[in-house]
Each structure stands twice: as C-alpha cells, then as structure tokens.
C-alpha cells in the first residue's frame, strides 16, 4: 500500500513538473490575455461610485525616493478629473492607478518650485495622445504658469512633429497638443477664490504661506457634500486652515525638522557644506508633522493624509519617528500618504474609504 502511494506521489510530481515546463508558455499566454481583457482600454473609474475620489500619484518630495514620486494628487469628481501638481514620476503612477485621463478637465499647480511640475510635460503629452484631446489641457496656476507651460511646449515641439507625422493628424490632433495656462490672481486682501464651478464641482484656490515663494496656493475641492483640501507647500497657514474648514480629507505637506537637521549635520560632517546649508534653509518654509496635525485639528478635518514627505520615509519602522507628536495633536484619522493610495468619498455618504491601487 505504501509503495503504491509512493509511486502515485512520484507520478504526480512528474506530471506537475512536466506541466510547469511544457505549460509555461500556455500559462504566460493566459496571464497576458487576462491582463489585456481586464485592463487595456477599460475605464477603471467606471466601477467607482458617484463621489469624490483622490488618487495619490506622488507622495514624495524632491529628495530621491525609491517608492514615492514627486508631489501629485489627482481627483475624480463625478465625471470630471483634475490633477493637482505633477511631480517627477507621478504621471506614470497615475496612469498605472487607472486614472481616467480622457476625463481630465484641467491641471492645477500649487506653485512654481520645479519639483511640483517636473512631470507636467509628461502629463500634457499623455492628456494629448492618451486622452485624444482636441484642445490643450488648461493648466491653472500662479503668475508665471504661462512661462512654464510655454517653455514645456517649446521643449516638446520636436516630439510633437514626430508623433503627428507617424500617427497622422486624425489620430493625434495637432490642436490638442500642450497646455493652456490660466493664471490665478487672487485679489489683494482675498485669501481664496473659486476657480472652477461646473456641474456641481467647485474648486477653490487658497493663498498659503511658502514665503519667500509667492504666490503659493492650496486648493479645496467640493462635490455633492464631500470635500478635499490640498495644502501644496506651506507652513502652518491660517488662511488654508480657514478655507479647509470641515473637509473630509486634508492633504498636508510635512517635513520633519529634526530628521532634516540630522541630514544636514551628516552632510556638513562629510564636507558637503552647500547641501548642508540647504537642509537648514528648507526648514523655514515647510510644515512639520505636528504643524500639519494642528492644521487639520483647527480646520476640523475628518482625516489627515501627510504627503510631500521630507525626508523620505522608506520603511514603516521610521514612520513613528517621522510623525513624532503629530498623532496627539489631531483627533481624526492620520495617515502617511503612499503612492497608489486611493481615497473614496461616496456622494451622499459619510464614509472615507482608503485603498491602494497597486
Ligand atoms: Zn515649494
Ligand atoms: Zn515642494
């Protein structure tokens, strides 16, 4: 009996081995076909409930980070999609998340530090080619946004010619190339202004404090009773906290001063004096995790998601050190953003649903 079982076991192992060797290609074909069926040309957002959905396409900063792209938060509100900042590497993450690029209505820049727009060229290209646009993507931002958009379009002229010549003007429409800068000029004395109001989606630009960089903006997005606020780069800002009053989710930048100081000290010790000085300089125009927690508490936000994390937080073990006393300063749900994070706020509901698209 034992010998018989042994023989059966051996035959089973051989059959499985044969299947794995001979069936590898068949399995690979099946897996590829399945990926084609489930993802290519499929609007992943169609399955989402009506509401506000935030896509964390970039939770990092200018510092090199293996897992976090430069700052980028995209929002789907009903059938309208928007992208707030486009840091380096973020647009690939955004598309990987199933963001519906053909629904993109506009991009919004918080300010013109390059780490907030060094993926904008890629966004404009993807919106044009991947989004089959027949008009440039509006890019809203502070004074100087026209120079940034104009410069990128100049840089992409040669590429534009290649693509139209190769695919034809009926496929990549020349008139859909690039961006159309829309300058946001908050009147003196005003700390906020509505910059988009259509089909129930209202976007408010908010003056924040990133001095000496001025103007710098944050944004609030409202749709069917649900709301998000995005700080951009700022210190603890009374105007931002006031405009973000009662939001479901606040995205706030965060820089851990002690950790950045330690980075600076190490750089100085190793003779990198210029880089060490930069570590000192950047501390005065960013918010600490505790500042961000106080901001969310002041605004009465239900959840706080820290992004634009400086320095990088590569492993979970360091998260607690990064947060420091922040959890004690905020009563709501406090999280560190990570690329691929999605936050859904169904219309007519109260839930804040976190998931990860990767
Ligand atoms: Zn900045
Ligand atoms: Zn920044």
Q: Which ligand is nearest to the CA of 61?
A: 2
Q: Which ligand is nearest to the CA of 211?
A: 1
Note the pLDDT tens digit of each residue in 147-174: 999 999 999 999 999 999 999 999 999 9
What local confidence, expressed as pLDDT, does residue 1 receive? 57
Q: Is the residue at 238 inside a domain?
A: yes
Q: Is the residue at 143 inside a domain?
A: yes
Q: How far is the CA of 115 from the centre of ligand 1 (A)?
A: 7
Q: Rounded to an integer, what distance in angstroms lies between the CA atom of residue 57 and that of residue 67?
A: 11
Which residue segment(s) compose the domain that 346 sits in? 50-356
What local confidence, expressed as pLDDT, does residue 2 receive? 65
Q: Which residues are marked as active site? A: 115
Phi, psi of 259 (to 5 degrees): -70, -40
Q: How far is the CA of 61 from the centre of ligand 2 (A)?
A: 6
Q: Is 117 exposed, middle or buried (0-12, 13-18, 19+ CB in 10 A)?
A: buried
Q: Is the residue at 288 inside a domain?
A: yes
Which residues are placed with Cβ below 5 angstroms of ligand 2, an ion?
113, 115, 233
What local confidence, expressed as pLDDT, does residue 70 receive? 98
What local confidence, expressed as pLDDT, does residue 49 receive? 96
Residues 6+ apart with CB under 8 A from 108: 82, 83, 84, 85, 139, 140, 141, 195, 203, 205, 217, 219
Q: How far is the CA of 291 from the centre of ligand 2 (A)?
A: 16
Q: How far is the CA of 63 from the centre of ligand 1 (A)?
A: 12
Q: Is 121 exposed, middle or buried (0-12, 13-18, 19+ CB in 10 A)?
A: buried
Q: Which ligand is nearest to the CA of 234?
A: 1
Q: Is the residue at 206 inside a domain?
A: yes
Cα dihedral sign, 67-159-86-82: negative
Residues 6+ apart with CB under 8 A from 37: none
Q: Is the residue at 84 inside a domain?
A: yes
Domain count, the chain: 1
pLDDT in 10s for each residue of the chain, 358 residues:
567 878 888 888 888 888 778 888 899 999 999 999 988 888 999 999 999 999 999 999 999 999 999 999 999 999 999 999 999 999 999 999 999 999 999 999 999 999 999 999 999 999 999 999 999 999 999 999 999 999 999 999 999 999 999 999 999 999 999 999 999 999 888 999 999 999 999 999 999 999 999 999 999 999 999 999 999 999 999 999 999 999 999 999 999 999 999 999 999 999 999 999 999 999 889 999 999 999 999 999 999 999 999 999 988 889 999 999 999 999 999 999 999 999 999 999 999 999 999 9
Q: Is the residue at 163 inside a domain?
A: yes
The CATH number assigned to the domain holding 68 equals 3.60.15.10
Owner of token pair 């010790």? 269
Q: How far is the CA of 233 from the centre of ligand 2 (A)?
A: 6
Cα-Cα end-to-end distance for the chain: 49
């Amino acid at each position: 009996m034992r010998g018989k079982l042994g023989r059966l076991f051996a035959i089973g192992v051989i059959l499985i081995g044969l299947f794995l060797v001979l069936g590898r290609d068949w399995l690979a074909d099946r897996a590829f076909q399945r990926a084609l069926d489930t993802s290519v040309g499929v609007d992943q957002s169609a399955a989402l409930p009506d509401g506000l959905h935030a896509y964390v396409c970039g939770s990092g900063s200018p510092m090199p980070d293996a897992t976090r792209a430069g700052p980028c938060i995209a929002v789907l509100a009903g059938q309208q999609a928007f992208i707030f900042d486009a840091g380096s590497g973020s647009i690939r993450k955004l598309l990987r998340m199933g963001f519906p690029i053909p629904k993109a209505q506009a991009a919004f820049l918080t300010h013109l530090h390059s780490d907030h727009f060094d993926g904008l060229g890629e966004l404009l290209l993807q919106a044009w080619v991947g989004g089959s646009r027949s008009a440039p993507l509006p890019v809203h931002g502070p004074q100087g946004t026209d120079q940034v958009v104009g410069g990128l379009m100049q840089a992409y002229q040669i590429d534009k010619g290649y693509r139209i010549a190769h695919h034809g003007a009926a496929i990549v429409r020349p008139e859909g190339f690039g961006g159309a800068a829309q300058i946001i000029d908050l009147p003196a004395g005003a700390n906020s202004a509505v910059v988009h109001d259509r089909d129930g989606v209202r976007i408010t630009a908010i003056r924040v404090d990133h001095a000496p960089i001025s103007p710098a903006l944050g944004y609030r997005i409202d749709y069917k009773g649900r709301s998000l606020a995005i700080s951009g780069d700022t210190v603890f800002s009374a105007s931002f906290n006031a405009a973000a009053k009662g939001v479901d989710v606040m995205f706030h930048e965060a820089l851990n001063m002690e950790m950045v100081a330690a980075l600076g000290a190490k750089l100085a010790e190793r003779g990198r004096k210029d880089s060490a000085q930069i570590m000192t300089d950047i501390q005065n125009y960013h918010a600490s995790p505790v500042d961000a927690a106080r901001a969310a508490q002041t605004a009465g936000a239900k959840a706080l998601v820290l992004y634009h994390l400086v320095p990088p937080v590569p492993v979970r073990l360091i998260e607690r050190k990064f947060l420091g006393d922040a959890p004690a300063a905020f009563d709501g749900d406090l999280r560190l953003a990570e690329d691929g994070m999605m936050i859904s706020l169904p219309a007519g509901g109260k839930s804040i649903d976190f998931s990860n698209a990767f």
